[in-house]
Amino acid sequence: MEDEWTLVIEGDAAPGIIAPFAAWRKKPAGAGVWVEGDAEAEEIGPLVAAAPVVAVRFPAIVDGRGLSLGALLRTRYGFVGELRAFGDIIPDITEYMHRCGFNAFVLPDLEQAEVAIACIGRMSDHYQASVRQPKPPFQEPTTRRP
């Protein structure tokens, strides 16, 4: 659970730093970038594709915009680095984020991180295609049928 990255809400980009998008664009080398959940995937997607880390801020539990952004970065802009969720996050929500392509979550403590891992593994199957499951079950007859 140790984090090799330091996220700065404001400030310059540098190696090991996750910086806001505007700062990151000036000095992307070795740096990560963070964006708000309502960032335009069409604008940032092509630019951040090569970043080692993209962090997406979720301003509230109920705000699902970052889920669409994550899914788009993964499926449409080919982002393969670390996709990190931070902000107002509870363990139960990480499962949605995980299915939308996030693979790192900033949670308040180790206990919550363990709950999150349990949440992510709880459901065996899902009805839809997602970043984690590129084909819906009806395209995979063996998983769908009893």
Partner 1 sequence: MYQYNAFDQRFVEERVEQYRDQTRRFLAGELTDDQFLQLRLRNGLYIQRLAPMLRIAVPYGLLTATQLRALAEITRTYDKGYAHLSTRQNVQINWPELRVVPDILADLARVQMHCIQTSGSCIRNITTDQFAGVAADEIVDPRPYCELMRQWSTYHPEFDWLPRKFKIAVNAAQADRAAIHVHDIGINIRAGDDGRPRFDFLVGGGLGRTPVIGSLIREGLPEQHLLTYLEAILRVYNRYGRRDNKYKARIKILVRAMTPGKFRAQVDEEWEHLRDGPSTVPDEEIQRIKACFVPHVYEDLVDETQLLARERLADPAFNAWMQNNVAPHKRSGYAIVTLSTKATGVPPGDVTEEQMDAVADFAERFGFGEIRISHEQNFILPDVPQKHLLAVYELASEQALGQANVGLLTDMICCPGGDFCSLANAKSIPIAEAIQRRFDDYDYLHDLGPLDINISGCMNACGHHHVGHIGILGVDKRGDEFYQISIGGNQAKDASLGRILGPSFKRADVPDVIDRILAVYVDNRLDGEPFLHTVRRIGIEPFKAHVYGVAEPSAGEREGPAPRMKEPPALRRAG
Applying CB under 8 A, the residues found at the interface with partner 1 are 38, 61-65, 67-69, 71, 76, 90, 92-93, 96, 99-100, 115, 119, 122-131, 134-139, 141, 143-146
- Judged by beta carbon, residue 19 or residue 48, the one nearer partner 1 is 48
**Min. distance of Cβ 142 from partner 1 in angstroms?**
11
H or E segment and range at residue 58? strand 53-58
Cβ proximity to partner 1: between 28 and 137 the closer is: 137
Instruction: Specify the residue, 28 or 75, whose C-beta has the smaller distance to partner 1.
Output: 75
Instruction: Round to whole Å and give the CA distance between 8 and 28.
Output: 14
* 49 close to 66: Cβ distance less than 8 angstroms: no
CA–CA separation, 30 and 71 (whole Å): 24
Nearest to partner 1 of 31, 69 (CB atom): 69
Rounded to the nearest whole angstrom, what is the least distance from the CB of residue 112 to partner 1 in the complex? 9
Sign (positive or negative) of CA dihedral 62, 64, 50, 25? negative
